[in-house]
């Protein structure tokens, strides 16, 4: 068989697995014995019966779009499936600079997501047993605990900084740019202290802005990311563009430090970047962690219609785990639809950027 026929067969197998996963999780979330109060109540307003009328992934288009404002406020246990009641539960927040933040209740999803992500990391750049630096947001966010679990799962310990992105966004909106710079320096001070304390840190999570600030600080002190002992970085954030990717690899890191782009949020988990290939000219393509989460690039005017390969559309997210069911949510991002990859035999998305109708109102803070 050729590579193409291998890929075609893998795509077919994964579509069948996705259809089966969809059926299983719709049955779970809408069964009165196992489902969550939110979805069992919501089902009363549908003009179809999820238990009998959803038989494949495409049938999820029968659901109305999910509005993430539904995630604001309590009681948050309305989201917990009856079958999972009584288990130790976390609540993770997103947004919340002003007003009531959106919340997601989680039991084990963050662990499962990051264990799956761990399997995609090359051990030579992310050595098993190595310690990690978590240079990102702290507080009521999934990311901190997720990176900590990733480090532990790989046999290491995670060292964290204190970072409140909500305060930074408030400073930016007030035009207090000097204070933003001071706060960024405060975060980098913490990272430098950890790296200089003999903790033998070899891996890290960070964002483009913070990685750049850390690399510049190290250069100012006659050092570098590599000389600080870092071998592997996984990096995510809206600033991770094709141009920045080239700049990071060529100017900030050098050829001996591995960096992998990721695209994630509290609802989806973590989408992996396509393995680096010089022929791609630093184009970044992401693949969702199917079947637990699915990304489709859809028509701007019809969210049930997927655009053609290479065409631009809005990112539509589906999440299906035992803990969370999101049957179609329009992200605040757009991008181009990409063909399946042998490592990720399903659709991808490249060129992810803020959705053009709201891009001007998006505030990007320190991370």
Per-domain boundaries in the chain: 1-106+290-366, 117-266
**The pLDDT of residue 367 is above 60:** no
As a whole number, mean pLDDT of residues 332-343 equals 94
Tokens at residue 245, please? 């990717």
CATH for the stretch 117-266: 3.40.50.12780
Least confident of 105-109, 200-204, 322-326, 351-355: 351-355
How many whole angstroms separate alpha carbon 276 and alpha carbon 354?
Answer: 23
Say how many CA atoms lie within 13 Å of 51 toward its Cβ.
12
Q: Residue 232: pLDDT band by 50, 70, 90 thresholds? A: very high
How many whole angstroms separate alpha carbon 265 and alpha carbon 287?
Answer: 14
Instruction: Name the average pLDDT for the chain.
Output: 92
Identify the pLDDT of residue 363: 55
Identify the pLDDT of residue 96: 63
Identify the pLDDT of residue 108: 96
How many whole angstroms separate alpha carbon 236 and alpha carbon 192?
Answer: 20
Identify the pLDDT of residue 87: 96
Q: Residue 359: pLDDT band by 50, 70, 90 thresholds? A: low
Q: What is the CA radius of gyration of the chain?
A: 21
Identify the pLDDT of residue 227: 96
- Give per-residue pLDDT as tens, 44-74: 999 999 999 999 999 999 999 999 889 998 8
User: Which pairs count as long-range contacts for 242-251, CB under 8 Å and 24+ apart, including other chains?
Assistant: 242/281, 242/282, 242/283, 242/284, 242/351, 243/282, 244/208, 245/282, 245/284, 246/282, 248/208, 248/211, 248/212, 249/282
Cα separations (Å) of 146 from 36, 108, 111, 210, 266? 24, 10, 6, 18, 11
Identify the pLDDT of residue 49: 97
**The pLDDT of residue 366 is above 60:** no
């Amino acid at each position: 068989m050729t590579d193409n026929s291998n890929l075609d067969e893998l795509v077919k197998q994964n579509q069948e697995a996705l259809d089966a996963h969809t059926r299983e999780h719709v049955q779970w979330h809408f069964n009165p014995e196992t489902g969550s109060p939110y979805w069992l109540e919501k089902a009363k307003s549908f003009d179809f019966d999820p238990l009998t009328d959803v038989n494949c992934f495409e049938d999820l288009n029968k659901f109305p779009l999910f509005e993430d404002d539904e995630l604001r406020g309590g009681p948050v246990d309305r989201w917990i499936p009856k079958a999972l009641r009584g288990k130790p539960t976390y609540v993770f927040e997103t947004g919340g600079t002003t007003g009531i933040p959106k919340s997601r209740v989680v039991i084990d999803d963050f662990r499962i997501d990051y264990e799956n992500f761990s399997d995609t990391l090359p051990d030579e750049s992310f050595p098993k047993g190595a310690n990690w630096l978590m240079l990102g947001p702290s507080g009521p966010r999934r990311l901190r605990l997720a990176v900590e679990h990733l480090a532990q799962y790989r046999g290491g310990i995670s060292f964290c900084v204190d970072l409140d992105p909500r305060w930074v966004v408030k400073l930016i909106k007030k035009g207090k740019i000097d204070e933003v710079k001071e706060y960024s320096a405060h975060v980098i001070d913490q990272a430098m202290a950890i790296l200089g304390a003999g903790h033998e840190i070899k891996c890290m999570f960070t964002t483009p802005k913070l990685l750049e600030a850390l690399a510049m600080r190290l250069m100012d002190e006659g050092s570098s990311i590599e000389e600080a002992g870092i071998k592997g970085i996984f990096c995510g954030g809206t600033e991770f563009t094709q141009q920045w990717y080239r700049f990071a690899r060529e100017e900030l890191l050098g050829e001996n430090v591995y960096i992998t782009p990721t695209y994630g949020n509290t609802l989806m988990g973590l989408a992996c970047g396509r393995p680096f290939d010089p022929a791609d000219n630093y184009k970044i393509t992401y693949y969702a962690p199917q079947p637990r989460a699915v990304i489709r690039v859809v028509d701007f005017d019809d969210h049930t219609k997927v655009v053609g390969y290479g065409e631009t559309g809005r990112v539509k997210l589906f999440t299906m785990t035992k803990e969370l069911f999101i049957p179609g949510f329009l992200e605040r991002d757009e991008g181009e639809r990409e063909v399946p990859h042998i490592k990720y035999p399903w659709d991808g998305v490249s060129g992810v950027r803020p959705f053009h109708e709201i891009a001007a109102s998006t505030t990007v803070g320190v991370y």
